A and B are shown apart, each in its own frame.
Chain A
Amino acid sequence: MSRAALVWTRRRRALAGYARAFAGNRGGLAGLAVLALIVLAALTAPLFVDKAALSLTGAEGGRFQPPGPGFPLGTDAFGRSVLDLVVWGARISLTVGFLAAFVSVALGTLVGVVAGHYAGWSGNVLMRVTDWFAVLPALVMAVALAAVMSRSTLTIIIAIGVTAWPTTARVVRAQTLAVEARPFIERARALGGGHVHVMLRHVLPNVLPVVLAQTTLLVAEAILMEATLAFLGLGDPGTISWGGIIQEARNAGAISSGIWWYMIPPGVAIAVVALSFTMCGRALEGVLNPRLRERR
């Protein structure tokens, strides 16, 4: 068997083991199933939701119509179907959640691996910078950034991505230090591997499992943060997002007049998605971190 084939067999076997361990965690499996369903709904939304009916002028229903035939979850202040709004909102919420988590994890991994690899003076400076970012309160910082920049989805992604990375950086740095202490790194160095080679080919693959679990947990946080910013009126006014729907419901007086079908669905959607990501993340953490695995 060639070397590459051997490596692939080994990787496949490890992956199968992980999959089996993940399947053993019922909460994680349930979270994954719910997520798959929601992602599918978000992707296929244009097939069964008419985008024109979601504009303020093209709405088909009456104002604040209670749930009934034609509108399973009633209508909002402009006569739009709340169910359609929530389904459409999943697109923005998931996009922002994934992209923001990706930005912050990429940044955190880069800083963490570099700070762990160059453990001396330069690594320390990097970690001081990280500490300083960690001190800045994430919500306040994100609110400030979203207020400073133009109101768009990109702004929200940047605001969340820039404020959420220090945690990842710390986790990754700790893992990098642990990996760098192992003999195969020394072997790679002795064979002439440079800094970049060691970081990319040896440290990164060993750090990635931790990063993966971290990402999943971060997506939940990012989705909550996006909803928060949209609720505070800092989101893109032209797009439909869950936080934005709640803000509109509040502004339209749904709270005082008891129009529950306008306010409850988007909140439940946020909670379900965030919970699913958290369950998946915890299950992944348990699978990929042997120390956690043996005690569960």
Chain B
Amino acid sequence: MAASESTRTGRSAAGTLPRRGRPGLHPAVRYLGGRVLTALVSLLAVMVTSFFLFRVLPGDPVSALTQGRSVSVEQLEAMRRDFGLDQPLPQQFADYCLGMLTLDFGMSYQYRVPVADLIAERIGPTLLLAGTGTVIAAILGLVLGTRAGWRRGSLMDRVDTGIALALWSVPSFWLGLLLIVLLASGVGLFPTSGMSSPGVEGTFAVALDVGHHLVLPVATMVAVVYAQYMMIMRSSVLDEMGSDYLTTARAKGLRDSLVLRRHAVPNALLPTVTLIFLNLGRVVSGVILIETVFAWPGLGSLFYSGLRVPDLPIVQALFVVFAGSVILMNLLADLVYPLLDPRVRT
């Protein structure tokens, strides 16, 4: 749905604006500028939301941090001053906005290090997990979806679709726990948590070790996620099925597999690629659960640990990061689509 929406607006933006637009500005530039501007406005709105959403979190961060220790009122006041919590709300908001612009997200209350450093440290593992999972899920989904769509109604289609939908209905955290019980804690085939074992040295050994830790989280993610790519690809293949150019290709005497590979798939890929991009942004926040279950040292577990305190600088910065990744991917989808589909270009 989102894709057809953006396609439609994309087409009208590229199609009608040049006639109405100021002379001298290339339509592509106008299109690009419009998209980037929209994305920036969204990002601004997200920043504002993030600030006010988490200000109403219950609990006082200062008293949560000093729990179990005897602290004097002066010390509490000093902590409040350090965090800037003694300032009036408008002043806090102004500081927050200025900080965001310079990528200074403030100090984490619980770790006492700049949030920007924490994010920089944690973003790698998240990207590794989300990236590997998405690539595998997308390839698997595209291949299975093409097969299922091309032979729709066949036994294979029904079995593949059934398995995909069943896995899609499974809660990811439960599947992760199940895999831990079956393959990690009992049999000991894979590590149960974390990203690396202590004492491993050497580039190759470390890579192998991380890969070993990566197997179960990625498997969980792929199993739960690939169904949506598959269903999208299946329905776009189905959309192309009745097309005249396929009849023509067959009439030329092309083999069925060639008709599929050279004619149907390239056209069916167009809407799918857009939808994959639209999904990519959600993937980053979607790994929160998997990171929690496997104790993966990424942004998701950082967000979760931040919510508990509440560690305001961490949660509000991560909220912006998560929403920002969706905005960025939406923007990329808008920009990539005209490159892929000449019909959208003017």
- Shortest CB distance A19–B (Å): 22
Cα distance A131–B288 when bound, in Å?
Answer: 23
* Contacting pair B181 A246 (CB below 8 A): no
**Chain A residues positioned under 8 Å from B1 (CB to CB):** 167, 170-171, 174
Q: A136-B323, A137-B282 are in contact. Are A258 and B186 (CB under 8 A)?
A: yes
B265 interfacial contact with A, CB 8 Å: no
Query: Closest chain A residue to B282 by CB distance?
Result: A137
Q: How many residues of chain A get a CB closer than 8 Å to chain B's CBs? A: 47
* Contacting pair A139 B45 (CB below 8 A): no
Segment at the interface with A among B19-27, B133-141, B168-176, B248-256: B168-176
**Chain A residues positioned under 8 Å from B326 (CB to CB):** 135-137
Segment at the interface with A among B53-61, B106-114, B122-130, B197-205: B53-61
* Contacting pair A147 B307 (CB below 8 A): yes
Q: How many A-B residue pairs have CB under 8 A?
A: 132
**Chain B residues positioned under 8 Å from A27 (CB to CB):** 162
Cα distance A27–B165 when bound, in Å?
Answer: 11
Residue in contact with A144 in the complex, picked from B162, B192, B282, B315, CB distance below 8 Å: B315
Query: Closest chain A residue to B316 by CB distance?
Result: A144
A143 interfacial contact with B, CB 8 Å: yes
Interface of A is mostly: helix
**Chain A residues positioned under 8 Å from B4 (CB to CB):** 174
Q: Mark A258-296, 1 if CB is under 8 A from B, else 0.
A: 101001101100111011001100100000000000011
- Shortest CB distance A109–B (Å): 15
* Contacting pair A144 B181 (CB below 8 A): no
- Shortest CB distance B61–A (Å): 13
Query: Closest chain B residue to A267 by CB distance?
Result: B174
- Shortest CB distance A97–B (Å): 12
- Shortest CB distance B165–A (Å): 6
Across chains A and B, which 5 residue pairs bring their CB atoms closest together, nearest first? A267-B174, A137-B285, A274-B169, A275-B169, A271-B170
13 further A-B pairs in the complex, CB-CB below 8 A; given A136-B49, A263-B177, A271-B169: A135-B326, A137-B323, A139-B288, A144-B53, A147-B57, A147-B307, A167-B1, A170-B5, A174-B5, A246-B174, A255-B180, A272-B169, A295-B241
Chain B residues in the interface with A (C-beta under 8 A) = 1-2, 4-5, 42, 45-46, 49, 53-54, 56-58, 152-153, 162, 165-166, 168-171, 173-175, 177-178, 180-181, 185-186, 192, 238, 241-242, 281-282, 284-286, 288-289, 292, 303-304, 307, 310, 315, 318-319, 322-323, 326-327, 330
